[in-house]
Amino acid sequence: MKIAMILLSAMAVTLLSCKGEWLSRIGGQGKLLAPHWKEAELPNKAKGVVYEDHSVPIIYYRAVIRSGSAAEPPDKPGLANLTGELLLRGTKSHTRDEIFSQLEGMGATLEVETSYDFLSYSGSVLSKNKDRFLKILAEILIQPTFPAEELTKLRHEVMAQIQEQLDKDREVVNLHFRRALFGDHPYSRPVLGTPQSIPNITLTDIMTFYRENFVSGNMILESAGDISKGDAINDFELLFAGLPPGEMRQSQYGEFKPTEQNRVFLIDKPQRTQTQIMIGQVGIPANDPDYIPLTVMSTAFGGTFTAPLNDEIRIKRGWSYGAFSYLRSWKDPGFFAMWTFPANKDTVPAIELALDLYRRFIDKGVKENEFTHATEHLVNSYPFDWDTPGDILSLATQRIIFDLPRDYYLTYTDRIRGLQLQSAHEILKRRLRKEPLTIAIVCDAKDFFQKVSAFGQVAVRRYDE
């Protein structure tokens, strides 16, 4: 869940009018100049990140805890998210309403977000109000009170969010695909938690997670915008000196257990006229040297509207409004997946065709023009990854959390342009397998159990379990 305050209209107008200043800079010979931030270790062992851009009087801030949902006990999914949210709901000096009122009064935003590998508090504020904003942020991180009455409210809110997810078939197939694919690995667990886990997470659980993870050596403090490196680091050192001391947490997620045969999971949701399908396998971590070649190949196969996967399933046959492939990578290996959503009558032929196209993709790769189109697409869309200073801080977070090389984003487009189709195809054949695959289908299970048995071992799960 994200909790954000309304930005003052004047601030919003300023940002929009100066948006061009945040967009890509073009260097000599038209070469794209990616953003370059500075990193430093603070005296309390927290890491500091600063990106300077004085185009507009706004500063973006981000406090990152290097532990996310993957650091939870296996029987407590949703604990990290509840912890992050509860910190916003009361400190030693301010109630939830007082925190929000102060933020609104200074035209600031502040929200918390939990992912597998980290938890982050992100916000923006007019630079003249930075001291007030940082004081509140430091108070939230250092002096939370964990009010029990707010936890009760928060549980109800998260349960409503989970139900909202379960009402969306696209979300359901994604949740169950990851659960089936990752097995006992923490990436199999939903970040929000489950209807069964949320009521059983206690204040003691939350305070323990906070005590173990919200320590100085496990934190990254970031700023971007209208502030110098010296001022930003001084602010971090002064206002966050009271962070509980502690070392960076070394999370050990465990090994994946590879499957030996194709598996089909029917996610039973009755009265469906359309199915949601994901087909894939465990992939590679974000810092793997083969990440960029695999991303280019996946994009060439199914990452754009004109790619072969969408062309065959949607454009030529009209079986679905779309068919796509993509690579997701995090601190540990993520996944490669194909996704489509045909009508019931077209589900089996769509799966058959997707599997056939995938096998040909592994064996023969893609055409030269498809490969070129994919590289151009990735290079041309890259500037939108750092459209605002807040986006730049997201990249800085990923660089640190995923242990990417320091020049990763500076050399990103050069490495894409330097790829050759033959070498990228060799990497594809080495890193992805034709089988075994995991197939998840949201459908009325009774209508498909026999029809999909040819694709692998079939199991049925309720969509809401």
Under a CB-based contact definition with an 8 Å cutoff, are residues 187 and 70 in contact? yes
pLDDT in tens, 284-337: 999 999 999 999 999 999 999 999 999 999 999 999 999 999 999 999 999 999
In this predicted structure, the answer to whether residue 355 has a pLDDT above a threshold of 50 is: yes
What pTM value is reported for the model? 0.90
460: three-class secondary structure by DSSP? strand
Domain locations along the chain: 9-239, 263-462
Q: Which long-range contacts (CB under 8 A, 24 or more apart) does 16-25 make?
A: 18/55, 18/56, 19/387, 19/388, 21/53, 21/55, 21/56, 22/53, 22/55, 22/387, 22/388, 22/389, 23/383, 23/387, 24/383, 24/386
CATH number of 9-239, picked from 3.40.50.2300, 1.10.3720.10, 3.30.830.10, 1.10.630.10? 3.30.830.10
pLDDT in tens, 231-289: 999 999 999 999 999 999 877 677 777 778 999 999 999 999 999 999 999 999 999 99
pLDDT in tens, 179-222: 999 999 999 999 999 999 999 999 999 999 999 999 999 999 99
- What pLDDT score was predicted for residue 243? 95
In this predicted structure, the answer to whether residue 411 has a pLDDT above a threshold of 70 is: yes
- What pLDDT score was predicted for residue 203? 98
pLDDT in tens, 104-156: 999 999 999 999 999 999 999 999 999 999 999 999 999 999 999 999 999 99
CATH class of 263-462: alpha beta
What mean pLDDT comes out for the span 425-431?
98
> Do 9-239 and 263-462 show the same overall fold?
yes
50: Cα separation from own chain's centroid? 22
Q: What share of the chain is helix, strand, coil (3-state, %, to 5)?
A: 45, 20, 35
- What pLDDT score was predicted for residue 259? 79
